[in-house]
Structure 1
Amino acid sequence: MSMNTGTPGGTTALVSEPLPNIPWEEKPAGFRGLVWRHSTNPIVDINPFPKARGVYNSCVVPWKDGYIGIFRADWHCMTPYLHLGTSPDGIDWSFDEEPISFISPDPALDEVNFAYDPRICKIDDKYYVTWCYNFNGPTIGVAWTKDFKSFHQLENPFLPYNRNGVLIPRMIGDRYVMLSRPMGLGMAVDYGDILCSESKDLTYWGKHRIVFTRGPKKWERVKIGPGPTPIETTEGWLLFYHGVADTCSGFIYSIGAALLDLDDPSKVIYRCRFPIMTPEASYETTGSVDNVVFPTSVLTDGATGRLAIYYGASDTFTALAYASTDEILDYVRSNHT
């Protein structure tokens, strides 16, 4: 795709198809930040359907005349499952009561019964779903679908322990590329960096390279991890990621931004020294896990450069925020490490 014409007299560096019905609210008057929250957040509140206490850290894509998504739903027993959701506008959601069932190529992969933090990435005519699940420890699962009715599981790309598997949304040369965050044992492990890996067939992965490590600033010095599917721009892949700080009262999860090379996403062009969003609203600072904003999905409008960012709030709610591609790029360029 080529650079698209944006607002009258202007252009956007975003490389994306137009999305005229993208969820959107204008930036509030006098607001000085880069990312502004949807006015009626959270868009998915607590107890959204009978089995689920919290729905969060989920992903959304355009589908037919509306939107479809795969959502992490923590049941009241505290086990997470993946559920399908649909919406006419990307804001008001309805959920399937039963979890997604995956068609597995091998019984040895085990049943997907502890699944969380999904991402969706469209490559050609398939939608690839990545998520974390328990396979003798946390690891990344991968499946594809064309209709959001049948989900065909592939081999796990990596050994445990790994999370936050995020595919680049097109092949680079003859290879698929995935970002991930290898980690140690435990839910709240206090380290983790972002790596890049390649595959010709989505089965065998190699050429593992470090993209960047946690730190150097305090807001991301504990661990980091890739967020939504990277966004193609004329300047590089725009990556939103989470960074974690340690404080006397616990961890704080914020959202950071970096720009990666289009031809080699293991190479960093710019990495912003400041977070672009931190927990501030009550639904972000208070919940099952306090002080968390965790980005997992972005809708893009190539005609305007608009971004609609879906994120998990306090491991309890699904929330929505808005940003401009070009404002984010300008900020990252001006404040890179």
Structure 2
Amino acid sequence: MEHTHQINTRIPIEKKGILLSPTKLKFESNGVLNPGISQEGEEVHIFYRAVEDGNYSTIGYAKTNEHLDLIERKSSPLITRDFDYEKHGVEDARIVKIEDIYYLTYTAYDGFNAMGALATSKDLKHFEKKGIITPFITYKEYKYHLEHCNQERLNPKYYYYYNLFAQIGLADEKHRYLRDKDIVLFPKKINGKFVMLHRIWPGIQIVQFEKWENLTKEFWENHIKNLHDHILMDPFYDFEVNYLGAGCPPIETKDGWLMIYHGVCETHIGKTYHAAAALLDIEDPIKIIGRLPYPLFSPTEEWELLGVVDHVVFPTGTALFGDDLHIYYGAADKHTAVAKVSLQLVLNELKKTAIS
């Protein structure tokens, strides 16, 4: 661990520094970032994105405790690239335990398409891949279904990001599918249904379903035709004006679901990724109780400002020890780092920020 740094924000955040960095091992020589986190009592299981030359990714594994002592770190990938749909990358895992099954969602990258995929486990050691779970919908199909939306309620930026792909010709390719990343599950079923967050630029959408088999192409077509009803959050504040993405699996609290996400804004030196927070209704999580009008934390330290992609903090998992919330995040697409904050302070602040 590096030295602890205290920074001035409206909510006191203690940056604990770098937890994991690239090594000389081939599979993780370029980056160790964006980890899925599963807490089992005092143990914290870390499923990090390991990047090798050529931007090929797998999922590595490490284990720590409350004090961020490194107990274990595997010298080879835990989850490898096995299928054509992920032949370039198994990226950015998030993990939850629902009943007796661990669900690990990740971005499958084939060199062209970035889509959400699922793997399950009973023991955190052996994972069974279930394939792509996001829409197999081309950009032309996406635009067609988008035109069925209530245009008065749909942020025009959804067309802006479609047009970005159209301008460079990607939207015309037959095998270019809708980019859908940051797939994050709630850690329990709500009213008997799985609840999942996903990201079609520029916002965070929410989807509920009873069985994984329900996520058919027809299901997703109907979802997009009614996208205005499924948008949880769109860009709202200056620090997230470009786009948002789901971050850590939501945390169940007495006040609601605490959601830590990332927001991106353009600056004079390029994009900056911030960590942000919102509070969702416990029974109906599409209802937002509060949303911080400023970042929870931002890139300020050297390891966040300079790396493979500069100016990035990218939260993907948490562990809770009493009131101490540890937030694990990717730093500049190179390292895995940890920040610590009081859970109660975050909740108190969020309850002051109700959005009408």
User: Shared fold (TM-score greater than 0.5)?
Assistant: yes
1:34 maps to which of 12, 36, 39: 12
Higher helix proportion (structure 1 or 2):
2
2:339 maps to which of 299, 311, 321: 321
Larger RCO, structures 1/2 (Cα 8 Å, 6+ apart) = 1
Task: Report SS of the residue matched to 1:265.
Answer: coil
2:231 maps to which of 198, 210, 216: 210
Per-residue CA deviations over 1:221-253 (Å, capped at 9, x if unaligned) read 000011101001111100001000101210010
In structure 2, do the counterparts of structure 1 residues 93 and 115 end up closer, same or farther at CA, with 3 Å as the change threshold? farther
TM-score of the pair, normalised by structure 1:
0.80
CA distance in 2, matches of 1:81, 1:29: 33
CA distance in 1, matches of 2:185, 2:45: 19
1:120 maps to which of 78, 84, 95: 95
Match of 1:249 in 2: 269
CA distance in 1, matches of 2:86, 2:273: 30
Match of 2:204 in 1: 194
Q: CA RMSD in A?
A: 2.7
1:176 maps to which of 189, 194, 197: 194
Q: Percent identity?
A: 28
Alignment of 1:90-239 (within 5 A): 90-92=68-70, 94-101=72-79, 110-111=85-86, 113-134=88-109, 137-159=113-135, 160-183=178-201, 192-205=202-215, 209-215=230-236, 217-239=237-259
- Displacement after TM superposition at 1:77 (Å): 2.9
Matched, 1:265 2:285: yes
Aligned residues of 2:60 and 2:79 also touching (Cα < 8 A) = no
Aligned residues of 2:35 and 2:48 also touching (Cα < 8 A) = yes
- Displacement after TM superposition at 1:314 (Å): 0.6
Structure 2 gap segments, 5+ residues each:
136-177
CA distance in 1, matches of 2:77, 2:5: 36
Query: Residue 141 of structure 1 aligns to which amino acid in structure 2?
Result: A
In structure 2, do the counterparts of structure 1 residues 80 and 322 end up closer, same or farther at CA, with 3 Å as the change threshold? same
- Displacement after TM superposition at 1:313 (Å): 0.6
Aligned residues of 2:319 and 2:327 also touching (Cα < 8 A) = yes
